[in-house]
Structure 1
Amino acid sequence: MNEPIKKIAVLTSGGDAPGMNAAIRAVVRACSYYSIECVGVYRGYQGLIEGDFEIISSRNVSNIINKGGTILKSARSLEFKTKEGRAKAYKNLKEHGVGGLILIGGDGTFTGGLKFMQEFNFPLVGIPGTIDNDIYGTDNTIGYDTALNTVVEVIDKIRDTASSHNRLFFIEVMGRDAGFIALNAGIGAGAEEILIPEKNIGLEKFVESLNKGKDSGKTSSIVVVSEGDKIGKNVFELADHITESFPEYDIRVSVLGHMQRGGSPSCFDRVLASRLGVAAVEALLDKSTGVMIGITENKISKVELEKAIKMNNDINKELLKVAEITSV
């Protein structure tokens, strides 16, 4: 662990997020800048176990900064959850002369990486790549800004038809455990109501809010629902409940699904990914390990992987107030 690192491996794991390619590009070119070889690991931890490695040069990552998804692919690996699987991964890394590992992903990725580091004392650094923005230790995760812009653009289009037909639209966005996408996109798109798991308002208060809107003259409404909201079992059950209370509305449900993961990354995500990729390489060269590279108040920051996994980002209470005030 004290030997100079001559080769760094990088992988992407978990759900893809716009900007992952920009991060890969930054890692590869930072390695080239510091005269270190870079190894791309395909299909995440499964590729680590199977030795699916390839040397990547600066020219290999030309013209990918604008592309969504991940050129290194991503895959689930049940085998990596076993000690035998992790031992295979370690053996492959050592055989290829890799001295440090960079992980681009979210909670699941970091959990596996932390276990691997603890067992084999192998230097690794994490980069937060997830559209949910639910990783502790960073103000923004790679892909979050792009996902917000995608959701707002879709809601803007839906609002056109909602207002034309006296419709109430329930729009479900990703966020099983966190409502960051729903809250921010809901405010940005001017939603009449935002339902998130962190603030379970209940069916009665929700109906009361819709009644107030109707009494004030609203003839259509947009309700943004985080998939983890707890009012109903799912957004369709919630829509059925509301249909009974508001027969005058033509109620529709739109589940945005995986379109939120795709698309060309925003400028913000490209710059963020580039900064985090370079900082991750520099962290390994400075002998930092078991940390996640984040961004705090627009400055590069480091947080222990264990903290990033175990602690949660809190919903901004000011934004909750803004959402309440601007939806009247």
Structure 2
Amino acid sequence: MSNIKNIAVFTSGGDSPGMNAAIRAVVRTGLFYNLNVFGIGRGYDGMIHGDIFPMNAKSVANIIQRGGTILKTARSEEFRTVEGRKLAYENLNAHSIDAVVAIGGDGTFTGAAKFIEEHNIPFIGLPGTIDNDLAGTDFTIGYDTAINTVIEAVDKIRDTAESHDRVFVVEVMGRDSGLIALRSGISVGAECVLIPEIKVDYEAMMDRLDRTRKNKASRVIIVAEGDEEGGGFVVAERIKARFPHYDLRVSILGHIQRGGSPTCMDRVLASRLGVAAVEALLEGRRGEMAGLIHGQVSFIPFSKAIKHIGSVNDNLLRIVDILSS
């Protein structure tokens, strides 16, 4: 075990369901190992402006089921500067903080890696993002809740689509990653799933829509917001130009995918990784993200974790094609 006595935890970037469960796990594990635990409000911005405060068991009571993050989150342009990071270091030093747990995604870990390089404070990261687009973990905290939110919403959309014989284009989150669209698309029985990683074959999509018109009263197309064509409304315009007789609607699910009570899977994932993060710091690890690979906790350097996954599971794409025919 190391000489670490005081640790801090913060959330950064976009919020995701399960962040509170992760905060709870970090705080309670720190207390279990007789550490002093501090929270940092509003991510790196709070670190720069001294929003640092002690936390205890009561601080994290009754939060495991809550969405969002009790520590708040913000993006910090100031932290991108040498001067900003120096202020952050001075504030951590003023509270005698020996190590930090950072809960977030790509930008969070990029900032942490730079901070370690300049100021030599150990960081361990937890993957908190609904996009599931980090290397080094099968699933990120918040992803399971987000796709279940999409499923619930699209199931309801399907009811009204079937009642009116309509085609619905549903846009889901995923600026750089189509993993929300892909898994939720299979789960709701979508006719087509359009994602940033794959070039859209519009001829094949139009043929499929025309073919399934005879067997289905409703059709749903799932589009990731980062799709090369520009999202749901652009895709809908292309379809309407080809089939002007279709009764077509567009639904943008937006930020409801980030909110809500986390699923059991996300609560357990956040809890396991929160415990692992504190124990990793005590073992002397630094500059790594804790993740779950094939059910086992593993660690990957920030430099590898922050590289977005560039490909998707071909078998999932094949399943979409088979089941939508």
TM-score, length-scaled by structure 2: 0.98
Contact 1:175 1:228 in 2 (8 A): yes
Give the total of aligned pairs: 325
Q: Helix, strand or coil for the counterpart of 2:306?
A: helix
| 1:90 matched to 2:89 | yes
- The one of 240, 243, 246 aligned to 1:243: 240
Q: CA deviation at 1:311?
A: 5.1
Question: How many Å separate the matches in 1 of 2:9 and 2:188?
Answer: 36
Question: How many Å separate the matches in 2 of 1:319 and 1:23?
Answer: 29
Q: Helix, strand or coil for the counterpart of 2:297?
A: strand
Q: CA deviation at 1:186?
A: 0.6
**Structure-1 residue corresponding to 2:223:** 225
Q: CA deviation at 1:203?
A: 2.4
**Structure-2 residue corresponding to 1:162:** 161
Contact 1:136 1:313 in 2 (8 A): no
Given residue 55 of structure 2, which amino acid in structure 1 is its aligned partner? Answer: I
Contact 1:135 1:313 in 2 (8 A): no
Q: CA deviation at 1:240?
A: 1.4
**Structure-1 residue corresponding to 2:10:** 11
* Farther-moved stretch of structure 1 (233-242 vs 311-320): 311-320
Output the aligned Cα RMSD: 1.2
* Farther-moved stretch of structure 1 (306-315 vs 4-13): 306-315
**Structure-2 residue corresponding to 1:65:** 64
Q: CA deviation at 1:145?
A: 0.2
Q: Helix, strand or coil for the counterpart of 2:10?
A: strand
Given residue 76 of structure 1, which amino acid in structure 2 is its aligned partner? Answer: R
**Structure-1 residue corresponding to 2:265:** 268
| 1:286 matched to 2:283 | yes
Question: How many Å separate the matches in 2 of 1:238 and 1:218?
Answer: 20
**Structure-2 residue corresponding to 1:202:** 201
| 1:319 matched to 2:324 | no
Question: How many Å separate the matches in 1 of 2:181 and 2:235?
Answer: 16
Q: Helix, strand or coil for the counterpart of 2:279?
A: helix
Question: How many Å separate the matches in 1 of 2:5 and 2:307?
Answer: 32
Question: How many Å separate the matches in 1 of 2:307 and 2:155?
Answer: 36
Q: Helix, strand or coil for the counterpart of 2:130?
A: coil
Given residue 307 of structure 2, which amino acid in structure 1 is its aligned partner? Answer: K
Question: How many Å separate the matches in 1 of 2:259 and 2:173?
Answer: 13
Question: How many Å separate the matches in 2 of 1:265 and 1:258?
Answer: 15
Question: How many Å separate the matches in 2 of 1:258 and 1:312?
Answer: 22
Question: How many Å separate the matches in 2 of 1:20 and 1:9?
Answer: 15
| 1:299 matched to 2:296 | yes
Q: How does 1:34-49 map to 2 (within 5 A)?
A: 34-49=33-48
Summarize the Cα distance change of 1:53–1:64 in structure 2 as closer, same or farther, 3 Å threshold. same
Q: Cα deviations across residues 124-163 of structure 1 (Å, max 9, x unaligned)? A: 1100000000000000000000001100000000000001
Contact 2:133 2:308 in 1 (8 A): no
Consecutive unaligned residues of structure 1, counting only runs of 5 or more, are none
* Farther-moved stretch of structure 1 (137-146 vs 247-256): 247-256
Q: CA deviation at 1:313?
A: 5.7
* Farther-moved stretch of structure 1 (199-208 vs 64-73): 199-208
Q: CA deviation at 1:314?
A: 3.2
Contact 1:102 1:127 in 2 (8 A): yes
Question: How many Å separate the matches in 2 of 1:47 and 1:213?
Answer: 53
Q: How does 1:78-157 map to 2 (within 5 A)?
A: 78-157=77-156
Q: Helix, strand or coil for the counterpart of 1:141?
A: coil
Q: CA deviation at 1:199?
A: 1.5
Q: CA deviation at 1:31?
A: 0.3
Given residue 218 of structure 1, which amino acid in structure 2 is its aligned partner? Answer: K
State the 4+ residue runs in structure 1 displaced beyond 3 angstroms.
none
Given residue 240 of structure 2, which amino acid in structure 1 is its aligned partner? Answer: T
**Structure-2 residue corresponding to 1:24:** 23
Question: How many Å separate the matches in 1 of 2:144 and 2:311?
Answer: 17
Q: Helix, strand or coil for the counterpart of 1:39?
A: strand
Question: How many Å separate the matches in 2 of 1:141 and 1:238?
Answer: 29
Given residue 83 of structure 2, which amino acid in structure 1 is its aligned partner? Answer: E
Identity of matched residues, % = 55
Question: How many Å separate the matches in 1 of 2:165 and 2:80?
Answer: 51
TM-score, length-scaled by structure 1: 0.97
